[in-house]
């Protein structure tokens, strides 16, 4: 049995790469289809002179498409290097948080009638948590980039 295990590793690694490629292609197709759907839907809303709804739908759809594209990028980078990079994942988290903040604030600003005090308070707490998450993710990216800069060897110029 021990001899069989090393022989199984290459086919399993090949299968893993196929899965990553299929996921990347599926996400890219999904992102393109969703972006197309968003553009058609937004055009329909604009033609109905529902500009606020159209702009909100455009913002929401565009940011979701960017999130999908970032996941595709992360997957392709992993396939090229064999190393999972955390920074693109953190960027997806920031985009998701900002997307939700924008949707909440846009929905709240167009709400008629105004939400009940309890609902408004819950919304404010959610916005605070999302803001804190965004800040923590941004600090994490800052720390990762700073660490990467320290690890790079200094380039000396020759005169």
Instruction: Give 108's pLDDT tier (boundaries 50, 70, 90).
Output: confident
pLDDT given for residue 156 in this prediction: 57
For residue 42, count CB atoms less than 10 angstroms from its CB and return exposed for 0-12, middle for 13-18, buried for 19 or more. buried
Token couple for 85: 């990079």
Instruction: Give 103's pLDDT tier (boundaries 50, 70, 90).
Output: confident
Q: What whole-number distance in Å separates Cα of residue 8 and Cα of residue 104?
A: 50
Instruction: Give 155's pLDDT tier (boundaries 50, 70, 90).
Output: low
Residues whose CB is less than 8 angstroms from the CB of residue 13 and which lie 6 or more positions away in sequence, other chains included: none
Residue 1 is given by DSSP the state -
Q: What digits encode the pLDDT tens for the residues 53-69?
A: 899 899 999 999 999 99
Handedness of CA 31, 37, 42, 45 (dihedral sign): negative
Q: What number is the average pLDDT over the span 49-53?
A: 91
Helices (H), 82-152: 86-109, 117-151
pLDDT given for residue 52 in this prediction: 87
pTM: 0.75
Token couple for 159: 């005169």
Token couple for 130: 């999302």
Token couple for 33: 């289809």
Q: Look at the block and give the residue holding tokens 């002179």.
A: 49
Domain limits of the chain? 1-83, 85-151
């Amino acid at each position: 049995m021990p001899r069989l295990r090393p022989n199984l590793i290459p086919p399993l690694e090949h299968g893993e790469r196929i899965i990553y490629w299929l996921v990347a292609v599926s996400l890219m197709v999904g992102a393109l289809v969703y972006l197309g759907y968003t553009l058609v839907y937004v055009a329909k809303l604009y033609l109905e002179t529902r500009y606020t709804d159209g702009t909100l739908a455009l913002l929401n759809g565009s940011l979701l498409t960017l999130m999908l594209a970032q996941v595709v990028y992360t997957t392709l980078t992993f396939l090229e290097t064999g190393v999972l990079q955390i920074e693109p994942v953190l960027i997806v988290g920031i985009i998701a948080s900002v997307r939700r903040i924008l949707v909440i604030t846009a929905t709240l600003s167009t709400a008629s009638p105004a939400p009940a005090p309890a609902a408004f308070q819950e919304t404010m707490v959610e916005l605070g948590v999302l803001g804190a998450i965004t800040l923590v993710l941004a600090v994490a990216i800052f720390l990762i980039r700073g660490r990467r800069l320290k690890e790079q060897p200094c380039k000396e110029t020759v005169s």
